[in-house]
Amino acid sequence: MMNTFAFVIYPYLALTAFVVGHIYRYRTDRLTWNAKSSQFLETGALPVGIILFHYGVILALLGHAGGLLIPQRIYDAMGISGHSHTLVAYYAGLLVGNPAFIGILLLLYRRVARTRIRATTTMNDFTTLALLFLTVGAGLYNVLFGHYEVLYTVAPWLRGILTLTPAPELMRNVPPTYKIHILSAFTLIGFAPFSRLIHIWSAPVGYLFRRLVVFRRRTVRA
Amino acid sequence: MKIKAQMAMVLNLDKCLGCHTCSIPCKNVWTNRAGAEYIWFNNVETKPGIGYPKKWEDQDLRKGGWQLKDNRLSLKAGGRIDKLVNIFYNSDLSTIDDYYEPWTYDYGKLASSPARRHQPSIRPVSQITGENMDIKWGSNWEDDLAGVTETGGGDVNFRGLAHETYLQFKKVFMFYLPRLCEHCLNPACVASCPSGALYKRDEDGIVLVDQERCRGWRYCVSGCPYKKVYFNWKTGRSEKCLFCYPRTESGQTTLCAHSCVGRIRYVGVMLYDADRISEAASVEDEKGLYPRQTDLFLDPNAPDVIDAARTQGIPEPYLEAARRSPVYRMAVDWKIAFPLHPEFRTLPMVWYVPPLSPLASLADADSPETIIDRMRIPLTYLANLLTAGDVEPIRLALERLMALRSYMRANRLGDVQDDETLHRLGMTPEIADAMYNLLAVAKYRDRFVVPTTHRETEVEPHEFQGACGFS
Ligand code: HEM
Ligand code: SF4
């Protein structure tokens, strides 16, 4: 029962909040749709922290997409065995997990220790960082000490969630630190639309293609 | 030829008294909000000095504006890819300490203090952290040269001059420089915004930040070489001077211009050829930037310009305003107004009439120095400020202003007119009279020629009632 709630109901609740929340927020509250940069108030640990964190997390997300969403049998067909897949995942995990985690520590440090940043940090900002700390921390712990085979357990479970064919029994024997990682990640997903994480969707790739100086013409009402 | 209309302003520095009146209504109306306490869309600086934010003019440090690299015009702070890769941390961003940490006082303590031997006093309290703080800088910190012996060396306008000389009491000079957004023809802030949130209004060239599209990537703040885009630390968005467009749309002038006690400000429309923008901003020799920008402006009385403008849909009120534009007369006809730091290559549209100043030395018959050379404010300093270092246009403007004074003096006293000097400077008595009228006695209607826009044709006014772009 607990298992079904945690690995079927909860993920769907989170995903629903994610989708509905983003649409709702974008339509009703565009004035706060931004990255809420704090660089203007205080640099200090920010440059190192924010860069390590972002590159780490973004690459980690891409790694998750590539490693978990694509079934192992496709990798098998490409001649990449489960063993080598795990090995690649291990080293890639170290490579991106460490910087991401160090980055979060630095960001948390300044949120707590620097007066101006503390004064302008909302509960929401802090919750976001705390959830990221938990998610990335557990993830890195699993890479370093977990050594649990996820290719035939967590990975197919996740694909089951996304293809609407949930298989919670796959999660039954997964070690607790993996469960923590997954549950905090889904909490983050559900919370994201209500936090500053909305800035992810505004990554301004359009900048590469538009003309530099923008003119806007008035639209005359019919 | 692609004709566009542009709102522009001229400030006659010869008359600025440095009273800061202009900044106050602007502050009260536009930036009197949390997160914007430190923001002054209009501020008045004393020159020489390093200004607000500190050293805003030093683009080796601030990396604002454009540069010519390999014969191509590019943003000094780096191109598109550079910006996207470094978006997490903008290493060129000035921080709040370059402006100042906003503060207030716990005034209640003055009233609630028990009777004591000494007057009660209160300490400044940060509006960000709520803690006691020391005030270290501000938007008018250097008022009337305060601290200039410390900071003066950092003023880039001393280029080519031994600044130590001018910081000595005997040689010292000063004037005021009121500053606002330049609403440039080639705005670096607009080009720097990855989200495309900043834009130039097609109809009047006013540069705005779309508050619903700003995502807080803060490249506009570092990209603007005049540091006139500000980061609201509370909302995480950028804000800037809006040329009081809700006022100009109804034919009123901006708040800073309206309130100016010295009546130093002029607002008008300029027609220009938008097809030649990049050409004018890419002149190789920096000294060529000012004359090339002047060439962009189209004669609003020329029949072919009027015809072309009509065909291209420029509304009649704009054409009418352009014909009466005080800016055109000062910038183009009389050449007494100049752009601020044209070498930033943004083609700024708030221009300045350079100030005359008292004579610093006695005439020496053997010296080739003219009266202009003997003025307290070095020509080179003004040229570094207004023409990328070219002293000749500044000299001519100052000579014209001096000739105007002699002309008026002779008029008043019934003296013999020095027609020869007027003639040598390309002036006639008619021009001198027109200059006198505009510079000295012009009324509201002549100083501010602002066309009305029929905004109601664009939006349903009732929907926007009570709405405010900032929140
Ligand atoms: C996809 C492109 C992304 C861009 C362009 C981007 C950009 C930014 C920027 C400019 C800031 C403000 C930094 C400052 O304070 O000056 C920021 C903050 C932040 N970003 Fe991102 N980000 C991206 C993706 C992500 C992702 C994928 C995550 C996490 C899942 C994330 C989490 C955060 C967090 C938590 C902060 C606040 C850090 C703090 O100040 O404590 N971002 N981001
Ligand atoms: S109100 Fe006019 S005279 Fe006073 S500081 Fe401003 S621009 Fe100068």
- CATH of residue A60: 1.20.950.20
Would you state the structure tokens that stand for residue B5, as one six-digit string?
A: 């209309």
- Altogether, the residues listed in chain B come to a count of 471
A77 in any annotated domain: yes
Cβ neighbours of B274 (radius 10 Å): 19
State residue B220's pLDDT score.
97
Q: Look at ligand 2, atom 4, and give the residue with the nearest C-alpha.
A: B19
A215 in any annotated domain: no
Q: Which ligand 1 atom sits nearest the alpha carbon of residue B217? A: 10
Burial class (CB in 10 A: 0-12, 13-18, 19+), A50: buried
d(CA B254, CA B239): 17
A144 in any annotated domain: yes
Q: pLDDT for A79-104, tens place per residue?
A: 999 999 999 999 999 999 999 999 99
Instruction: Please indicate whether residue B386, judged by its CB atom, sits closer than 6 Å to ligand 2.
Output: no
A208 in any annotated domain: no
Instruction: Please indicate whether residue A39, judged by its CB atom, sits closer than 6 Å to ligand 1.
Output: yes
Confidence of residue B466 (pLDDT cuts 50, 70, 90): low
A48 in any annotated domain: yes
Over range B239-247, report the average pLDDT: 95
Residues A41, B460: C-beta atoms closer than 8 Å = no
Q: pLDDT for B42-87, tens place per residue?
A: 999 999 999 999 999 999 999 999 999 999 999 999 999 999 999 9
A205 in any annotated domain: no
> Could you say which ligand is closest to the alpha carbon of residue B265?
2
The tally of domains found in chain A comes to: 1
Asked if B41 and B31 touch (Cβ cutoff 8 Å), the reply is yes
Burial class (CB in 10 A: 0-12, 13-18, 19+), A31: middle
**For residue B365, pLDDT beyond 80:** no
State residue B469's pLDDT score.
59
A213 in any annotated domain: no
Print the domain residue range for A171: 2-34+43-200
Residues B216, A37: C-beta atoms closer than 8 Å = yes
Residues A216, B202: C-beta atoms closer than 8 Å = yes
Asked if B217 and A204 touch (Cβ cutoff 8 Å), the reply is yes
CB-CB neighbors (< 8 A) of B203 in chain A: 217-218
Asked if B186 and B65 touch (Cβ cutoff 8 Å), the reply is no
d(CA A93, CA B98): 40
CB-CB neighbors (< 8 A) of A37 in chain B: 216-218, 231, 236
pTM of the complete model? 0.94
A–B CB contacts, 8 A cutoff, strictly below: 128
State residue B453's pLDDT score.
83
**For residue A222, pLDDT beyond 60:** no
Over range A105-121, report the average pLDDT: 96
Compute the half-sphere exposure of residue B11: CA atoms within 13 Å on the CB side of its CA: 29
State residue B140's pLDDT score.
93
ipTM for the predicted complex: 0.93
Q: Which ligand 2 atom sits nearest the alpha carbon of residue B15? A: 3
CB-CB neighbors (< 8 A) of B195 in chain A: 202, 204, 206-207
Minimal C-alpha gap between A120 and chain B (Å): 7
A221 in any annotated domain: no
Confidence of residue B327 (pLDDT cuts 50, 70, 90): very high
d(CA A199, CA A192): 10
